[in-house]
């Protein structure tokens, strides 16, 4: 859910940046604020992914013979 919210925030910020491009106001403080919003949303979305990767790296999760191994799940998170 956090990841979806971060993607939505980043999409709105990109939309605003494209609006500023249309107005020829790319290198204004307002544009840099929207760039900071995209960077912040990316950082916030990275935190749960790192947490899941850390959990899978140290967890002892039994894997059935026909299921996905822990290594595959860790690779998917990374």
pLDDT digits (tens, 9 = 90+) for 9-52: 999 999 999 999 999 988 999 999 999 999 999 999 999 888 88
For residue 37, CA distances in Å to 1, 15, 62, 77 come to 18, 12, 40, 24
Domain of residue 38 covers: 2-77
Looking at residue 37, the DSSP 8-state letter turns out to be H
In this prediction, residues 44-62 reach a mean pLDDT of: 83
Check pLDDT > 80 for residue 66.
no
| Structural domains counted in the chain | 1
In sequence order, what are the residues at sequence separation of 6 or more whose Cβ sits closer than 8 angstroms to the Cβ of residue 77?
Answer: 49, 52, 53, 56
Residues 10, 42: contact at Cβ < 8 Å? yes
Confidence of residue 4 (pLDDT cuts 50, 70, 90): very high
């Amino acid at each position: 859910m956090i990841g979806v919210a971060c993607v939505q925030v980043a999409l709105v910020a990109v939309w605003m940046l494209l609006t500023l491009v249309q107005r020829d106001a790319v290198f204004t403080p307002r544009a840099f604020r929207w760039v900071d919003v995209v960077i912040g949303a990316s950082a916030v979305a990275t935190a749960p992914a790192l947490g899941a990767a850390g959990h899978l790296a140290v967890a002892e999760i039994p894997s059935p013979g026909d299921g996905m191994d822990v290594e595959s799940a860790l690779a998917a998170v990374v």
